[in-house]
Structure 1
Amino acid sequence: MAVRMEELRDHEAVRAVNRAAFGGGHGETVAELVAALRRDDPGALSLVAEEDGEVVGHIMFSRTLLDAPRELVPVQTLSPLGILPQWQGRGLGTALIRAGLDEMGERGVPLVFLEGDPRYYSRSGFEPAAGLGFRKPSLRIPDAAFQVFRLPAYETWMTGTLVYSDTFWRYDCVGLR
C-alpha cells in the first residue's frame, strides 16, 4: 500500500471511495464536499491510499480558524477520511492520518480538529478537544466526537472556538443531522 498526494487523475476514484465509505445520500454529500473544498481551499492537503494501482482510501485536511482570545489562529480540519468498505480494518486509515499529520507538522500547523469516533481517532493521538480549552462550532457535534491533535507549533494560549470554513456549512457537514 502506498500513500501519496492526490492527483487530478484521482478525482473520480476519490469520489467513488467517499460514496462507498459514507454510503447512501451522505456519501454523495461527502463527495460534493470534497470537490468544493478543492475549489475553495487550493492549499488543502488531499492524500490517497493506493493498492496495486487502485485508489482505495482518501483523506483531506483543509483550512479553518480557531477564534482564540489573542488572535485568529489558522488551523486545519481533518475531513473526510474514507476507505473502501472491503479495505477497511487493514490500517489504511491510520496510515493516511499519520502521513497527513506529518505533513501538517512540516507546514507549521499548530492544531488539527475533527469530528469522529473517539475510539478510532484516539489511537492516532487525537484527544477530546473540550478538555483542552476548545469549543465546538456547533451544538450538533457530540462532545466526545469533537477532537484535536496538537502539533509542535501549538502554544498553550491557543484556545477558543473552532470556526469551520463556509464550505462545511454550505454542505451541512457540521455535526449530526
Structure 2
Amino acid sequence: MDVREERPDDHDAVHHLHRAAFGAHGTAVARLVDALRHDDPAALCLVGEVDGEVVGQVMFTRSLLDAPRRLVPVRVLSPLAVLPAHQGRGVGSALVRRGLELLDAHGVPAVFLEGDPGYYSRLGFRPGGGWGFRRPSLRIPEPAFQVFPLGAYEPWMTGTLVYSATFWEHDCVGLRDQEG
C-alpha cells in the first residue's frame, strides 16, 4: 500500500470510501470532510492506495488548545476511514502513523481525537484527561477523548481542546442521545 497526500482528483473516491466505511452515517461524514477541506485548506489529508484504488483516508485538521499561558495550535484526527474489504489489514494504522510523523516534523505539539480507545491506544494515543486536557464537550465519553503528544509538546500545555466551528456546525462532536 502507498500512503500519500490526498489530491483533488481523489475527492470522489474519498466520498465513496466514507459512505462505505461509516454506513448510515457515511453521507454525514463525507459532508464533514468537504466542510473541513473548505475550512482548513492546509489540513493534512492522507490516503492509502492499493493498485490505484483509494482504500483509506485520514484527516488532521487545525484546532486550538486553550492553555493557561496562551492558545496553542494543535491538530484533531478526524475522520479516519478504510473500505470495509480492507479493514483489519493495517491501512488505518499506516495512515495514522504517517500523519503523526509528518505533524511531528512540522512542530505540532499534540494530536487529539475522539474514538475507540481499544484501537487508538495500540497506536500510542492516551486518555486526554490523564494529561491535564479537558474535552470540548461533555457528550464525548471520557475514555474516547485521547491525545498523542508529539516532540514539541511541553508540560505547561494543558487545558481545554477547542474544536473548529466546522465540527459544531455539522453536529460531529460527541454522542447524541438516540431517544427522542
Q: TM-score range by the shorter chain?
A: over 0.9
Pairing of 1:1-177 with structure 2 (within 5 A):
1-24=1-24, 26-177=25-176
SS at match of 2:75: strand
* 3-state SS of 1:120 partner: helix
SS of aligned partner of 2:102: helix
Tell me, what secondary structure is at the counterpart of 1:56?
strand
* Alignment root-mean-square deviation, CA: 0.5
Counterpart secondary structure, 2:20: helix
- Supply the distance in 1 between the matched residues of 2:22 and 2:142 (Cα, whole angstroms): 21
TM-score, normalised by the number of residues in structure 2? 0.97
Amino acid at match of 1:20: A
Identical residues among aligned pairs (%): 68
One-letter identity of the residue aligned with 1:16 = H
TM-score scaled by structure 1? 0.99
| Alpha-carbon offset, residue 42 of structure 1 | 1.1
- Runs of 4+ in structure 1 off by over 2 angstroms are none
Q: Distance in 2 between matches of 1:22 and 1:72?
A: 33
Which runs of 5 or more residues in structure 1 are unaligned? Answer: none
Amino acid aligned to 1:8: P
Aligned residues: 176
Amino acid at match of 2:15: R
